[in-house]
Structure 1
Amino acid sequence: METRELRYFVAVAEESHYGRAAARLGIAQPALTRTVQKLERRLGTPLFVRSGRTVSLTPAGSVLLREGRNALDAVEAADRRTRRAGRAEAERPGIALATKAGVSVDLLAALLDAYAAEPGAVPVDVVPAQIGEPERMLRDGRADVALLHLPDDDPATGLDREDIATEGVIVVLPGGHPLAARPALTLAELPDLPRPRWPRTDGSYPDGPGPAFLDSAQLFQLIALGRACAVLPESARPSLPRGVAAVPVTDAAPLTVHLVWPAHSRSRDVAALVRVATRLR
């Protein structure tokens, strides 16, 4: 299969409509239709079920959508990493480490300091990321490794990981809430406030009544206004703004901090960083 064919197929699958997919790709619809039909003939199976002006995926099409996205991500990642290596040809390229708000600053500092002390260590560029973004950055080549919380940030297949720490959980409440002065809470005692809907790794949001948000600044604003509460890792406490309060949740399952990297990575520098991270446990 050609990457062009995969891009065309993914566009039709995501739009569920040949006309919209053609407009998105900037090509004529007949050319798009012929390309998809050619792909179906080569694979020997239909990928779409046509219903009027819209289309839906067959079981085989669903498999190709999942695998095709991974393949296109890998191609884009190879392009980005090759260009980055080319720009740094005069010197050894460094490591791009993606991390989001809420990851322990102390843990990150300990990891960077320990790795910097290793013989042959290369520069590590810490890349701030929004909620749900680090996994996408790993897949498309913007990052070589990432720090993620599990189970909240449970990455899909195609990524390897190593646990490096665990931490407790807090609930973040409006500063004036009656429970904000409590020394601790249980899950059963959490207030009846909407829980924010975290963005998925593909940028979509799960269904539910809670407010959707794009970043931690929006989240904390909603909490300060009394519109939500959120269960977060203990390491988020130092970055909390004024107007909110944090209370430990004693019976919540602890969160695990993982260092995550693409399973196909052959970087010796990434491998060295992972080895250092495992010694921090």
Structure 2
Amino acid sequence: METRELRYFVTVAEELHFGRAAQRLGIAQPPLSRAVQQLERRLGAALLDRTSRTVTLTEAGAVLLAEGRAALDAVAAAERRTRRAAASTTGRPALVLVTKAGASNELLAKLLAAYAAEPGAVPVDVILSGPAEQARLLREGRADVALLHRPFDPTDGFDTEELGTEGQIAVLPAGHPLTARAEVRLADLAALPGLPLPRWPDPDGGYPPGPGPKVRDHAQLLQLVALGRACALSPESCRTNLHDGLAAVPVTDAPPVTTVIAWPPHSRSRAVADLVRTATRL
């Protein structure tokens, strides 16, 4: 199976329209149709059901779409990591670490300082991503290592080491009646009038239904909380990010958050291995 054929099929499967797929690929429609037919003959399976009006995936086609996306992502990731490794001799960052903006600030600062003091340490470029973007950037090869937070971030397909587990806090406007308590429960937050929990974007960019405000980053969320438009549920370590106008109360029944350092299982980078060893020692 050629990468070109796989890319053609994935594009058709996503568009479910040969004309739009051809336009997206920048080729004519007839060679695209021939390439997909050749792929079906090679695999001995019908991948698409075609009529004069519609194109739909067969069961085999659905399997190849999922596997094909993963394969194309792996090829693109390999290319990015190879280019970055080749560019390391030019003085540009040789290691890219991604973490969610506003999360694990204290740990990140300690990790970078401790690693920089190690013999043979290389420059580290830090990407501060939006929520739930770290795993995607790591999988796409745009980062070499990531700080992820279970249960919020997926860790399947990566090698990981646990760095610590912490409870969660409710972030509320300063002076709110709940801030006088020593602790609260999730039901207390769900019952708050006028202070809904925020809605974070789904992987496709849309938002789940609900009354909470749409947010994209931690700074935006904290401003909405300070304005009395929302409350937030955050790991305990996020206390260090709170400013005047905000208060935090432990949430006793919220699931604990475990911070892990993650990297691709096939990585042979000595720099990644050294950074992971440094993280597990902290």
Q: TM-score range by the shorter chain?
A: 0.7 to 0.9
Query: Residues 132-281 of structure 1 correspond to what in structure 2 (within 5 A)?
Result: 132-157=132-157, 159-175=158-174, 177-192=176-191, 193-200=195-202, 202-205=203-206, 207-209=208-210, 210-240=212-242, 243-280=245-282
Change in 2 beyond 3 A, CA 1:96/1:52: same
- Is residue 109 of structure 1 aligned with residue 106 of structure 2? no
CA RMSD of aligned residues (A): 2.5
| Aligned partner letter, 1:110 | K
Is 2:97–2:125's contact at 8 Å kept on the other side of the alignment? yes
Aligned equivalents of 2:241, 2:124: Cα separation in 1? 22
Residue 11 of structure 2: aligned partner: 11
| Aligned partner letter, 1:233 | P
Residue 30 of structure 1: aligned partner: 30
Change in 2 beyond 3 A, CA 1:246/1:15: farther
Structure 1 residue runs of 5 or longer lacking an equivalent are: none
Answer with 1 or 2: which has the greater Rg. 2
Q: Percent identity?
A: 63
Aligned-pair CA distance for 1:255: 0.4
Aligned equivalents of 2:57, 2:227: Cα separation in 1? 43
Change in 2 beyond 3 A, CA 1:241/1:24: farther
Aligned-pair CA distance for 1:134: 1.2
Change in 2 beyond 3 A, CA 1:241/1:18: farther
Larger deviation, residues 252-261 vs 268-277? 268-277
Is 1:103–1:147's contact at 8 Å kept on the other side of the alignment? no
Structure 2 residue runs of 5 or longer lacking an equivalent are: none
| Aligned partner letter, 2:178 | L
Is 1:115–1:121's contact at 8 Å kept on the other side of the alignment? yes
Aligned-pair CA distance for 1:90: 4.7
Residue 78 of structure 1: aligned partner: 78
Aligned equivalents of 1:19, 1:165: Cα separation in 2? 51
Aligned equivalents of 1:62, 1:257: Cα separation in 2? 34
Aligned equivalents of 2:91, 2:263: Cα separation in 1? 23
**When the two structures are superposed, what TM-score results if normalisation uses the length of structure 1?**
0.86
Aligned equivalents of 1:90, 1:195: Cα separation in 2? 46
Residue 45 of structure 1: aligned partner: 45
Aligned equivalents of 1:51, 1:216: Cα separation in 2? 48
Change in 2 beyond 3 A, CA 1:54/1:130: farther
Change in 2 beyond 3 A, CA 1:15/1:108: same
Aligned equivalents of 1:99, 1:5: Cα separation in 2? 35
**When the two structures are superposed, what TM-score results if normalisation uses the length of structure 2?**
0.86
Aligned equivalents of 1:27, 1:221: Cα separation in 2? 47
